[in-house]
Chains A and B, each alone.
Chain A
Amino acid sequence: MNGVHDMGGMDGFGKVEAEPNEPMFHEEWESRVLAMVRAMGAAGAFNIDTSRFYRETLPPHVYLSSSYYKKWFLGLEEMLVEKGYLTRDEVAAGHAMQPAKALKHGKFDLANVERVMVRGKFGRPAPTPAKFNIGDRVRARNIHPATHTRLPRYVRGHVGVVELNHGCHVFPDSAAMELGENPQWLYTVVFEGRDLWGADGDPTLKVSIDAFEPYLDPA
């Protein structure tokens, strides 16, 4: 979706301000949100792509004015309601009032903590041979799906070169909508800065994205 989360190349957000000796969490509730997201994801309530999509669909003014973990919280709450794990009445009451919905991987208890600390695997067996080779010129498709995609707007329509092939991976565009993993070849595609940003762009700049095969056409 063409949301405000797709920020690459936008102007007006100001300087990058690093905080010296930044703590891991600024408020205790942030750590609880992180843990709940990780736990409910590991329990099978949603996948990582769905959770990203729920953050992206927050209203633009909410997205831009909420802190990082506030966005995580708002996305989590909405997602759990929409997926039927809790009801709006329960959220309003602050207590459980309905029977639980079964979780794919069961209750998240202490025995599951180690699973969260090991990064998931996203590589999948290849259903078809790769369409592109290293060094091929490719054009990022000019597509504007209203649903989740990982093709940023700033490369759409531009020509780049395939630099790396990462194998077949879970396709976020499908997984986010719970349409299955639909594995696709994944490539690092490099663009010249001036192709993206025009003649005034930095001549020394190259930008790469990791692009799934359905994002690309031969060029």
Chain B
Amino acid sequence: MSHDHDHHHDHSELSETELRVRALETILTEKGYVEPAALDAIIQAYETRIGPHNGARVVAKAWTDPAFKKALLEDGSKAIGTLGHVSRVGDHLVVVENTSQRHNMVVCTLCSCYPWEMLGLPPVWYKAAPYRSRAVKDPRGVLADFDVALPKDMEIRVWDSTAETRFLVLPMRPAGTEGWSEEQLAELVTRDSMIGTGFPKTPGAPS
């Protein structure tokens, strides 16, 4: 981390937190616990390999391939394991399907559990108190914060990720996408639609 020469910061003073983080990395390095280049490689892997594009491909395939969808809902980890292009998701991924009767939403009230391999690192709001506190008690109120409204009589199911199981919402396929390819459909699948705080994009709507 040779910041002084490699980077041009607008501010010359480092925050207390930055100083403490750097100090810790220095100690861990000097003690021989970690190799800084290995830390760089972890960050680079997170920045390039994971993200909602992985989940979107899974959803789009489920929308176009009924056998895959059936397998996905039966055993998410196993079904995703058959797709070579998606990074490995571990053993405990559960895919839950939105229908015209039921809307699913995922939260971790105790910390920040989230399907990293499918969706990337979670956004700040997912890890913050407003979402974690209200999702299990007033999910419709939370959805209103996202400008999402559900029919009054629709069942809403909230999955609190309290163990090492991870949950991915399979949203409903948007109308007007008959005949679309998997690649085209994947473009409509948003991160929030796979958490349950949003819907997929609608064909033709401004993004």
Question: Do A and B come from the same complex?
Answer: yes
A-side residues, CB < 8 A to B, are 5-11, 13-19, 22, 24, 26-29, 31-36, 38-40, 43, 45, 48, 52, 55, 64, 68, 70, 73, 76-77, 80, 85-86, 90-91, 94-96, 100, 103, 107-110, 112-113, 116-123, 150-152, 154, 164, 166, 169-170, 172, 186, 188, 190, 196-197, 201-202, 204-212
Q: Apart from A11-B133, A35-B39, A73-B20, what 15 extra A-B contacts exist at CB < 8 Å?
A: A8-B133, A8-B136, A16-B130, A29-B21, A86-B28, A86-B31, A91-B24, A150-B163, A154-B136, A188-B94, A196-B136, A205-B157, A206-B156, A209-B162, A211-B162
- In the complex the two chains form, is A24's CB within 8 Å of B47's CB? yes
Given the contacts A24-B120, A95-B27, A43 and B33 also touching, CB distance less than 8 Å: yes
CB nearest to B39 among chain A residues: A35
Q: Which of B19, B27, B111 contacts A55 (CB 8 A)?
A: B111
Interface residue total, chain B, C-beta cutoff 8 A: 81
B-side residues, CB < 8 A to A, are 1, 17-28, 30-35, 37-43, 45-47, 49, 87-92, 94, 107, 109-112, 116-117, 120-121, 123-125, 127-140, 142, 145-146, 152-165, 192
Give CA–CA (A96, B32) in the complex, Å. Answer: 10
- In the complex the two chains form, is A119's CB within 8 Å of B90's CB? yes
- Chain A residues within an 8 Å CB radius of B153: 204
Give, as a whole number of angstroms, the nearest-CB distance from A172 to chain B. Answer: 7
- In the complex the two chains form, is B157's CB within 8 Å of A210's CB? no
Given the contacts A29-B21, A107-B32, A212 and B163 also touching, CB distance less than 8 Å: yes
Given the contacts A100-B31, A110-B37, A7 and B18 also touching, CB distance less than 8 Å: no
- Chain B residues within an 8 Å CB radius of A38: 42
Given the contacts A8-B136, A24-B120, A39 and B38 also touching, CB distance less than 8 Å: yes
- In the complex the two chains form, is A96's CB within 8 Å of B38's CB? no
User: What 7 A-B pairs are tightest by C-beta distance, nearest first?
Assistant: A119-B90, A8-B109, A94-B23, A96-B30, A210-B163, A35-B39, A13-B129
- In the complex the two chains form, is B155's CB within 8 Å of A206's CB? yes
Q: Which of A8, A15, A117, A121 contacts B49 (CB 8 A)?
A: A117
Give, as a whole number of angstroms, the nearest-CB distance from A201 to chain B. Answer: 7
- In the complex the two chains form, is A13's CB within 8 Å of B130's CB? yes
Give CA–CA (A18, B202) in the complex, Å. Answer: 20
- In the complex the two chains form, is A18's CB within 8 Å of B156's CB? no
B17, B49, B112, B123 interface centre (most CB from chain A within 10 Å):
B17
- Chain A residues within an 8 Å CB radius of B163: 122, 150, 166, 169, 172, 186, 210-212
- In the complex the two chains form, is B30's CB within 8 Å of A204's CB? no
- In the complex the two chains form, is A205's CB within 8 Å of B87's CB? no
CB nearest to B49 among chain A residues: A117
Give, as a whole number of angstroms, the nearest-CB distance from B129 to chain A. Answer: 4
